[in-house]
């Protein structure tokens, strides 16, 4: 049942982990364009620390493949020659497979790099010229994916070609999914180490958990107001394994002519999606990759369709719309995930 509340909503932020019955190893490092924090429990502190190092290495390996802003990455090498059919990395194929499996291709496009560049978010922002936006958007829709000899390729329709070296040249940008995949690989590395019994890995907008803390308490993840980063007014609590991601209109944004322009673009128009300030999706059955993709895709769909998707798939949802009203879809009973709408102080 829908409940709209006229109150702020919030972006996912890790709350105090607590030490519980066992003493965790806690590490924070820069990775994936953010500060990634890992809290892990195990009997052997040295072995747990080594496992955490392995988790960061696993994340770095994903970043080396999928960071479209790193010229040495595999995806950047593809983007340098987008008019040729090129075999993609296993990580790229995994992301493309996930988009298809989640049935969100209309709302999550991996080929908007050229369109996003027109907004110059990293340079303070600018409103794109309409003609340039239309041309770049057309090029972004010209990618196709085919199988050839067991390989997976992506190519651009030769009828929609833009001048090489120009900012309008299309390209793949999997930034809306890479963080989630990297967290999955980090979690897999911790599990495979044999030294870690339970852990939480948070990259700000995305978090994954596994196992139960020694004291039996839940992993708690706070949700931050998209208009006031100092406020935490809701908490997701995982008893064991799970994933959570938040997308918001404030993470990369600028204002011009009285309008907010943010980086979550609608693939059909190339313009910022409207109607939502932030959206958090969570589930015990979700991978980090799937939660990362879904938070963006459902943001684009809007609150009503996001509500239906969450309810149909047994997921928890927390949305703040453009008017500051909050939509809540609770997790199914007995799922090991709960959501509280009580304000809690930040650590």
Residue 28 · residue 35 · CB < 8 Å: yes
Give the model confidence (pLDDT) of 38-65 as tens digits: 999 999 999 999 999 999 999 999 999 9
Round the CA-based radius of gyration of the chain to a whole number and report it.
Answer: 20
Beta strands in 257-344 (DSSP E): 259-262, 276-283, 316-321, 325-329, 337-340
DSSP-assigned letter for residue 163: -
Can you give the residue ranges of every domain in the chain? 4-65+196-340, 66-175
Which CATH number is associated with domain 4-65+196-340? 3.10.520.10
* Distance, CA of 321 to CA of 346 (rounded, Å): 23
Model confidence pTM above 0.85: yes
3-state secondary structure of 63: helix
Please state, rounded to an integer, the average pLDDT across all residues of the chain. Answer: 88
* Backbone angles phi and psi of 67, in degrees to 5: -80, 105
pLDDT at site 2: 39
Rounded to whole angstroms, the Cα distance separating 55 from 187 reads 7
Q: What is the pLDDT of residues 106-137, one digit of tens each?
A: 999 999 999 999 999 999 999 999 999 998 99
DSSP secondary structure code for residue 162 in this structure = -
Query: CATH code for 66-175?
Result: 1.10.3980
């Amino acid at each position: 049942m829908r409940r709209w509340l006229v109150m702020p909503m919030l972006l996912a932020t890790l709350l105090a982990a607590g030490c519980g019955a066992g003493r965790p190893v806690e590490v924070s490092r820069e990775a994936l364009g953010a500060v990634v924090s890992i809290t892990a429990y195990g009997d052997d502190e040295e072995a747990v620390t080594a496992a955490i190092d392995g988790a960061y290495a696993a994340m770095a390996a994903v970043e080396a493949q999928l960071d479209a802003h790193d010229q040495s990455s595999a995806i950047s090498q593809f983007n340098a020659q987008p008019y040729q059919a090129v075999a993609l990395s296993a990580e790229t194929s995994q992301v493309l497979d996930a988009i298809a499996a989640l049935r969100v291709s209309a709302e999550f496009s991996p080929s908007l790099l050229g369109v996003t560049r027109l907004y110059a978010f990293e340079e303070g922002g600018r409103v794109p010229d309409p003609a340039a936006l239309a041309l770049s958007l057309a090029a972004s829709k010209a990618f196709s994916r085919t199988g050839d000899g067991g390989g997976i390729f992506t190519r651009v329709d030769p009828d929609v070609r833009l001048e090489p070296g120009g900012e309008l040249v299309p390209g793949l940008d999997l930034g809306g999914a890479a963080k989630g995949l990297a967290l999955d690989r980090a979690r897999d590395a911790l599990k495979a180490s044999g030294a870690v019994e339970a852990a939480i890995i948070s990259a700000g907008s995305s978090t994954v958990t596994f196992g139960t803390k020694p004291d039996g308490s839940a992993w708690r993840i706070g949700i931050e107001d998209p208009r006031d980063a100092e406020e935490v007014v809701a908490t997701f609590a995982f008893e064991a394994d799970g994933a959570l991601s938040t997308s918001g209109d404030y993470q990369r944004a600028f204002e011009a002519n009285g309008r907010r322009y943010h980086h979550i673009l609608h693939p059909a128009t190339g313009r910022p999606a409207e109607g939502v300030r932030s959206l958090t999706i969570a589930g015990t059955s979700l991978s980090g990759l799937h939660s990362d993709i879904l938070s963006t895709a459902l943001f684009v769909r809007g609150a009503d369709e996001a509500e239906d998707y969450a309810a149909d798939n047994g997921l928890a949802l927390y949305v703040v719309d453009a008017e500051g009203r909050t939509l809540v879809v609770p997790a199914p009973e007995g799922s090991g995930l709960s959501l509280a709408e009580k304000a809690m102080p930040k650590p």
